[in-house]
Amino acid sequence: MISEDKIAEIRDRAPIADVIGNYVTLKKSGNSLKGLCPFHNEKTPSFYVHPNRGFYHCFGCKVSGDVFAFLMHVEGKTFPEVARDLAEQTGVQLPVYDPQREAEHQRHKKESERLASLMEASTEFYCAQLREHPDASIARAELAKRGISDESIRKFRLGYAPHGWDSLVRFLERTGSSPADAEAVGLIVSRRSGRGHYDRFRHRLMFPIADVHGKIVAFSGRALEPAPSMEAQKEPPAKYLNSPENPLYHKGEVLYGLHEGRVEIRREESTILCEGNFDLVALHQAGFANAVAPMGTAFTEAHAKLIKRFAPKVFLLFDGDQAGRKAVREAYGTSNKAALSVHVVTLPQGADPDSFLREQGVDALRARVTNAPTIIEYLIDDALARAEPNPHAKAEAIAKLGPILASVESPIERGLYVERVARKFGITDLALVRRELRRGLGRGNEPRPKPRDAVRQDIALVVSELQSRLISLLIDQPTLIQNEEAQKLSRLLTNKDLRAIFDSIFRMVDRQGSLEVMALLEELEDNQLRPWLEEQLAVQRHSLEEARQIFCDGLPILEQQNIERELPGLQQRIVEARRVGDDALAAGLTQEFVELSRSAHKLKQANAKQR
């Protein structure tokens, strides 16, 4: 539990413009800042940050919130994680509720920071070696051959591990690093004799692997052509050597490139999943900055959940060989459990993303991504391609597609897939295809995934334009609500949701003299006009003097409109009273009608003079 006071203190010490500015290029726009939204793809900026209110809002995709909401969205973290991170960054001391748990947390934190510092220093060492070591020319030649730019080398902090047995060991000794820590994270290995250590990575092109928060947790070393100064090796080294799992790194939970691509993934609302380190770097360099890659392991449920935190859609971009096709088949169940929308980008036989980009270019790959079939379409085509050309084999291939099609929630979509199966396998009778699919499904007990969360629809708002305009002025300049004239507005508002907004603003300003944006939104959580309110809070349009003048001019007009709206109903009641013979009621209503008409006439004249 974190108290509201501490949350407010963190907000004060972590200016929203500074935090968001780490992810989005913001430019001044009146009292707000604006930039390209990090959560959807756009060419014209519609993302606004209001520093004084500590609030952001996108007029395109409608996301909004405070500094906590932004970091939760862009980093995929929980509120407690974001709050603790910001508290540590800003020096806010959070209270200790469970001393034993807090002590364990602090111990784990210190260990993680120490190990992360060691990995960071090693990354810097490898980067320096790529620039300076005589044998690093082989690594640089490999990068040049693949067209990897200097910018990409810097972005991914690529490095070189010298071929000597103790280059990193000696560096760590000079920096006073603990050999035990270095061994724990897999940088060095204990000698069999038990005396000393040697480098795990030798004469390799080094790819530092960051977790989603940007902390280096592992390395992947790519084998290189032998250097002239090296002794002949009895057998060639493994093509890739990866860090072992360690306190910082669990390979089934880390995706290479996710930290570098997380903002683009949010913007594109999709991820491209590839397989190799060079593929990943080449894709980012070619403009596909939403690409990620698992580290030496199959696509896991943890990977799928991690991707789902950032985007609902994933494009599988594996090598165009048998292993790549097998990886797609294996990825289906994993992605389906995470309710990811999956498409498959196919490459020619023997091609990988890196080679395809070099040989056929960015536009060719982009076209394949744009036209990528869904994974179920791909699996149908793949089932036909792998089936023997005889009736029994084709029937079995169709039956195996039964559980896959049964997992499709939409009956229309499922029906279209059944038609695709029939068409691809050359069967004209759809009933026969459905029967074979049911046979593959067994007794039909295959569980279907829960329906995906429905997309929240925009609320149709039917509100007087003048009423909403006057409330927007109070949102711009809340102190106006303290004026006696402004308080008339409450009885003039005909929309209950606008009236609730007015009442909340009035109570908050009366209590504390200002608006607290997130508290206001929380109080109005169920208000139908909340999306409209978020838009008003994002941009301050009027100065105090401008708002006061417009408000003073508008209030009498609203009063006049309300009276004129009331008169026809009052006239109808007079007619009804006379029809039933209630002369006293009719006389009273007539007097009220005359007085209201006079008031409306006076207001109309006064308003005309003002205009």
- For residues 406-419, give the mean pLDDT: 89
221: phi then psi, degrees, rounded to nearest 5: -110, 125
Q: Report the b/e string of 358-388 with b at 16+ CB within 10 A.
A: eeeeeeebeebeeebeebbbbbbebbbeebe
- Give the integer Cα–Cα distance in Å for 355 and 361: 9
pLDDT at 577 over 80: no
The tokens describing 247, both together, are: 């306190």
- Give the integer Cα–Cα distance in Å for 6 and 314: 38
- Which of the four pLDDT bands, split at 50, 70 and 90, describes residue 426? very high
- Which of the four pLDDT bands, split at 50, 70 and 90, describes residue 549? confident
Q: What is the pLDDT at residue 229?
A: 76
- For residues 528-553, give the mean pLDDT: 86
Exposed, middle or buried by CB within 10 Å (0-12, 13-18, 19+), for 484?
exposed
For residue 316, give the 3-state DSSP assignment: strand
Q: What is the pLDDT at residue 464?
A: 64
DSSP state of 480: G
Q: What is the pLDDT of residues 203-255, one digit of tens each?
A: 999 999 999 889 999 999 999 999 887 776 667 788 999 999 999 999 888 99
Higher-pLDDT residue of 40, 412: 412
- Which of the four pLDDT bands, split at 50, 70 and 90, describes residue 401? very high
Higher-pLDDT residue of 355, 445: 355
Looking up tokens 């005589």 gives: 134
Contact (Cβ atoms closer than 8 angstroms) between residue 430 and residue 398: no
Q: What is the pLDDT of residues 101-110, one digit of tens each?
A: 767 767 888 8
pLDDT at 455 over 60: no
164: phi then psi, degrees, rounded to nearest 5: -65, 160
Closest CA to 448 of 410, 408, 398, 401: 408
Closest CA to 55 of 368, 460, 520, 407: 520
Q: What is the pLDDT at residue 572?
A: 78
Q: What percent of the chain is helix, strand and coil (3-state, nearest 5)?
A: 55, 10, 35
Segment of 192-196, 282-286, 573-577 carrying the highest mean pLDDT: 282-286
Alpha helices per DSSP H over 133-225:
136-145, 150-156, 167-175, 179-184
pTM over 0.85: no
- pLDDT > 70: percent of the chain: 91
- For residues 274-290, give the mean pLDDT: 95
Rounded to the nearest integer, the mean pLDDT of the chain is 86
Q: Find all residues with CB under 8 Å of 472, minimum gap 6, and list them.
A: 536, 541
Contact (Cβ atoms closer than 8 angstroms) between residue 204 and residue 221: yes
Alpha helices per DSSP H over 477-543:
489-492, 496-512, 517-523, 530-538
Q: What is the pLDDT at residue 296?
A: 77
pLDDT at 285 over 90: yes
| CA torsion, ordered 507, 508, 509, 513, to nearest 10 deg | 140
Distances (CA, A) of 510 to 12, 454, 520, 523, 553: 22, 39, 13, 16, 24
| CA torsion, ordered 252, 253, 255, 260, to nearest 10 deg | -160
- For residues 363-388, give the mean pLDDT: 94
**Counting every residue, how long is the chain?**
611
Q: What is the pLDDT of residues 30-53, one digit of tens each?
A: 889 999 888 887 788 999 999 999
Q: Where are the beta strands (DSSP E) in 226-290?
A: 240-242, 255-256, 270-273
- For residues 584-606, give the mean pLDDT: 70
Exposed, middle or buried by CB within 10 Å (0-12, 13-18, 19+), for 66?
buried
Q: What is the pLDDT of residues 471-482, one digit of tens each?
A: 889 888 888 888
Q: What is the pLDDT at residue 561?
A: 73
For residue 40, give the 3-state DSSP assignment: coil
To which H or E segment does residue 88 belong?
helix 79-90
Q: Find all residues with CB under 8 Å of 450, minimum gap 6, and list them.
A: 339
DSSP state of 296: S
Segment of 114-118, 348-352, 404-408 carrying the highest mean pLDDT: 114-118
- For residues 488-515, give the mean pLDDT: 86
- For residues 357-378, give the mean pLDDT: 95
The tokens describing 155, both together, are: 């972005």
Looking up tokens 């309710």 gives: 339
Closest CA to 375 of 431, 290, 286, 304: 304
Q: What is the pLDDT at residue 452?
A: 32
